[in-house]
Amino acid sequence: MSNIITEINDHVAILKINRPKALNALNDEVLKELGEAFAEAEANEDVYVIIITGEGKAFVAGADIAQMKDFGAVEGKAFGAFGNGVFMAIENSVKPVIAAVNGFALGGGNELALACDMRIASSKAKFGQPEVGLGITPGFGGTQRLPRVVGSAKAMELILTGKTIKAEEALEIGLVNKVVEPEALMDEALALAQAICQNAQIAVRQSKACINRGLQTDMATGTAFEAEAFGLCFATEDQKEGMSAFVEKREKNFKNR
């Protein structure tokens, strides 16, 4: 792949978007390669956590305006559906996904970060949904995920003004989990990934599914889904090992089964 660099080490896959001269702007080719690289990482049984980041000074500066400017309604809808399909696959992955936001995360870049489960930001990162200034709406899930993450009023403000915010404000409104200096970004993202890797992966994946399911439904349905997941865990070897290790005051040794 010419636009995605994949590295796998210690159960963590790092997918780096590698189109720095265009600030990693998302065109058909980049989206296609990102979807393929992500699918490969998700299918790899040795990968427990996936990190997405960008090469150069941008995470993703947006969708490729040069490609979009001459679209008609049919082409625009198709491009939005294509990008949304890739981002939905990321959101719905059974594996936890971390965005390591190294720079500009605007438009499609902010939407890509939102499709991830957690976001660690460089202090130089900037976030925004500037689409209305280009005469369009967000097209890759921004109108849906941003309100769920930061609340409807703040999402309305960011989307309807199209303004860009710095990393510290993104932290204040709950858009990102943590802000670190640029040189510490990948170390911090990897530390978070390794903390997840140390736990029982069936339980991790069931917990992620419960959270995502609960955000889309009422409390009664969500807690019923949680009860099913809770019960399922008691059929795993990891539950027996984890609780036995706790009672016996020894180190646990999960086999992820």
Which CATH number among 3.30.470.20, 3.90.226.10, 3.30.420.40, 3.40.50.300 corresponds to the domain 4-197? 3.90.226.10
What are the structural domain ranges in the chain? 4-197, 201-248
| Catalytic residue set | 111, 131
pLDDT digits (tens, 9 = 90+) for 2-34: 999 999 999 999 999 999 999 999 999 999 999
CA 160, CA 143: separation in Å to the nearest integer? Answer: 10
pTM for the whole thing? 0.94
The domain over range 201-248 is classified in CATH as 3.40.50.620: no
pLDDT digits (tens, 9 = 90+) for 62-115: 888 899 899 999 999 999 999 999 999 999 999 999 999 999 999 999 999 999
Residue 63: DSSP 8-state: B
CA 115, CA 152: separation in Å to the nearest integer? Answer: 17
CA 145, CA 210: separation in Å to the nearest integer? Answer: 17
